[in-house]
Structure 1
Amino acid sequence: MRRRLRVAAYAVCVRDGQLLLARSPGPDGVPEWVLPGGGAEHGEDPYDTVRREVTEETGYRIEVTGLLGVHSHRFARPRRRLRRAVDHHGVRLVYEGRVAGGELTFETGGSTDLAAWHDLDTVPGLTRIPLVDIALRLWRERPAAGRIRQAPTPDN
């Protein structure tokens, strides 16, 4: 089984009771909301990753105001036709960010196609990836250890 490590950085940007999210096509083609952010390039500091990714996906420049925590997840992807099975380990750094400039725009030719502000109380009704809830919990609880305990699931 092939092993894969992915380090990524995401931002929780809350303004006037709204959360900034980006929309991405889900694995089954159904769009789902995600935190702005993504994978670090080789040699890139995650702090720089989150700032770059937020700008790419939303048009905003952010000031990183803190590290909320780290979420680690691991799961196996079974072998598919002509592909080996993968033991995937994702390490996701979740930062808090404040919009410092730019204007809301949509990414073209990237991993997302739309960005929007959502009222915090409407987020539970959105089709979203589990990391959105994990990040909001980190933002609300601000655990001293920078992590929350939860039952493992295949896609969180």
Structure 2
Amino acid sequence: MKLKNPLLAVRDMERSKAFYREVLGLHVVMDFGANVTLTGGLCLQTLDTWAGFLGKAAEEIRFGGGDSEVYFEEDDFDGFLTRLAARPDIAYVHPPLEHRWGQRVVRLYDPDRHILEIGENMKAVCRRFRDQGMTPEQIAARMEVPLKFVTGCLR
């Protein structure tokens, strides 16, 4: 068994492609009209075709259930937050926050209210702590990860 691609049903394919391109920097790899694959492997499927696959009416499909998310990591988290701040159309699940292990994240909604989490790249977290004067051992303890993980990130 091999996981291939997560797929999100969308109401307006063009709006969704623009959102993922403009906000997350993803690009179309394959476009079959009703199904589009973006860089990173995320697939978008038109609502009508998705409903047809399930044997349901489009009105039966519910968006915004808050029961899952698609997770991304960003190397330049501060730059990403700056770009987000310039977009008044972004709907946030919550503002940026720092998890107990030190990773900064923000969760937002795409146009169909799918939850997207954008987290600071874990290597960047290690480097940020190192730049604040922490030793690799302190970083491992702070992040609740093995020292080997930290030393690999700091190479």
Please indicate the TM-score interval, normalised by the length of the shorter structure: under 0.3
Larger radius of gyration: 2
Task: Considering Cα pairs closer than 8 Å and 6+ residues apart, tell me whether 1 or 2 has the greater RCO.
Answer: 1
Q: TM-score, normalization: structure 1? A: 0.24
Which structure shows the bigger proportion of residues in strand conformation? 1
